[in-house]
Amino acid sequence: MSKDSPNAASPSPARQRRSSDQVTLSQVAQAAGVSPITASRALNSPDKVSDSARLSVLQAVEKLGYVPNLVAGSLASSRSRLIAVIVPSLINSVFVEVIKGLQETLGAEGYQILLGNTDYDLDREYQLVRTFLGWSCSALVTAGLRHNKACHTLLANWDHPIMEVMELGKGMDLNVGLDHVAAGRCMAGHLIDKGYRHIVYVGARLSQDYRASMRFDGHKAVLKEKGIDAPLLELDTLGSLQAGAEGLAQVLAQYPHTQAIHFANDDLAAGALLAAQRQGLNVPGDIAIAGFNGLPLGQHVTPQLTTILSPREEMGRLAAKELIRRLSGKNVYRRQHDVGFTLQTGGST
């Protein structure tokens, strides 16, 4: 009856307490016969307490099934070990691979990822940033250098590391990526070297996927230098195999003399290549096809897809390493890292 039930009616409590029945650090400390602060240290900076204290705390943790309340810890220390990661899409496997690289490296250091998806909407990005700052994230990773005004202001006044990945340029803080204009130039150069002159660039929603439009800029510049026209076909759906097939059909209808198509990414290119096969078109005899990213799929179709290999997981890992370096207070030698890219010529061009 008068057991230590949590709801034991106190004599005349002016106010009901709302404590959860969770085991707290104080209870652990009590069980271990030390003060709460020592228990805290035993768990968070083990080398600052004696072996005996550490041992008895760990035993008490085990015995009581204590799970640290990270929310309370973060509030008290204003450090959360959370890293906000904001990407424009989860469907596009490219970003997932970057996330994987980040997660491997950050996870090993005890950081947790708080994931946000903008669906290529900069206003949505701003909302996510606000939310994430509210979680006192230790750092923020975002795909791309473009933000809306409010977001820019918010980030500029934030005093934690910011890592912008994917592309290279003048960023807010740290930056790991590659030069998309150069990548576009590279592929266009390759197509011209191969002797193609009627080349169409096909992208999907370029106003959103502005990295693809930067590649088009590079592509266009090279063709212009050669005095060649650089038609652009923009699809209204997001990149996918299906969209690639449609892109092929539209190009053939709209620009019948086309010799080569430079697709904004491998999903589109592979979709076009597979569609061409279904229609009995010869690649590259009837039409040459090139992509971007170096997805595994491109290496397994016949002919192999000519593409530009972007080191995506590597980008994530490098970004994570640089963040960790910064977060542990070390000097950052370079704010900007170019991970480069590789032209991978297959049989499709």
Partner DNA sequence: CAGGAAAATGGTAGCGCTGTCATGATAGCG
Partner DNA sequence: CGCTATCATGACAGCGCTACCATTTTCCTG
Residue 277 interacting entry, from a copy of itself, DNA, none, C-beta within 5 to 8 Å by type: a copy of itself
CA distance 305 to 283: 10
CA distance 85 to 103: 10
Shortest Cβ 307–DNA spacing (Å)? 48
Q: What is the largest CA-CA distance in the chain?
A: 93
Structure tokens that stand for 116 in this block:
């946000």
Among residues 260, 268, 275, which one has the least CA distance to residue 348? 260
Site string for a copy of itself, 215-244 (x = CB under 8 A): -------------------------xxx--
Residue 55 interacting with a copy of itself (CB under 8 A): no
Phi, psi of 137 (to 5 degrees): -60, 150
Shortest Cβ 148–a copy of itself spacing (Å)? 15
- Per CB under 8 A, the segment of 138-146, 180-188, 275-283, 332-340 that binds a copy of itself is 275-283
Structure tokens that stand for 273 in this block:
């290549």
- Per CB under 8 A, the segment of 8-16, 166-174, 220-228, 269-277 that binds a copy of itself is 269-277
Q: CB–CB of 323/163 below 8 Å? A: yes
Residue 117 interacting entry, from DNA, a copy of itself, none, C-beta within 5 to 8 Å by type: a copy of itself
Residue 130 interacting with a copy of itself (CB under 8 A): yes
CA distance 206 to 195: 27
- Per CB under 8 A, the segment of 133-141, 172-180, 187-195, 247-255 that binds a copy of itself is 133-141
What is the bridge-based pairing of β-strands 260-263 and 342-344? unpaired
Q: Which residues bind DNA (CB under 7 A)?
A: 14-20, 22, 24-26, 34-38, 40-41, 43-44, 47-50, 52-53, 66, 68-69, 72-73, 75-79
Shortest Cβ 39–DNA spacing (Å)? 7
CA distance 199 to 180: 19
Q: Which of 69, 250, 336, 345 binds a copy of itself (CB under 8 A)?
A: 69
Q: At what angle do helices 180-193 and 210-225 cross, to 10 degrees?
A: 40
CA distance 176 to 335: 8
SS3 175: strand
- Cα 28 to its chain centre, rounded Å, is 39
Shortest Cβ 83–a copy of itself spacing (Å)? 11
Site string for a copy of itself, 293-332 (x = CB under 8 A): ---xx-xxxx------------------------------
- Per CB under 8 A, the segment of 86-94, 191-199, 258-266, 322-330 that binds a copy of itself is 86-94
Residue 43 interacting entry, from a copy of itself, DNA, none, C-beta within 5 to 8 Å by type: DNA
The secondary structure element, H or E, covering residue 202 is strand 199-204
Q: Can the peptide bond before residue 284 be classed as cis, meaning omega within 30 degrees of 0? A: yes
Compute the Cα dihedral for 106, 110, 111, 112 and give only its sign: positive
How many residues line the site for a copy of itself (CB under 8 A)? 53
Shortest Cβ 157–DNA spacing (Å)? 15
Which residue is it, tokens 């061409």? Answer: 276
Q: Which of 71, 108, 156, 332 binds a copy of itself (CB under 8 A)?
A: 71
Q: Which residues bind a copy of itself (CB under 8 A)?
A: 18, 20, 65, 67-72, 74-75, 78, 80, 90-91, 93, 96-97, 99-100, 103, 107, 112-117, 130-131, 133-136, 153-154, 157, 240-242, 245, 270-271, 274-275, 277-278, 296-297, 299-302
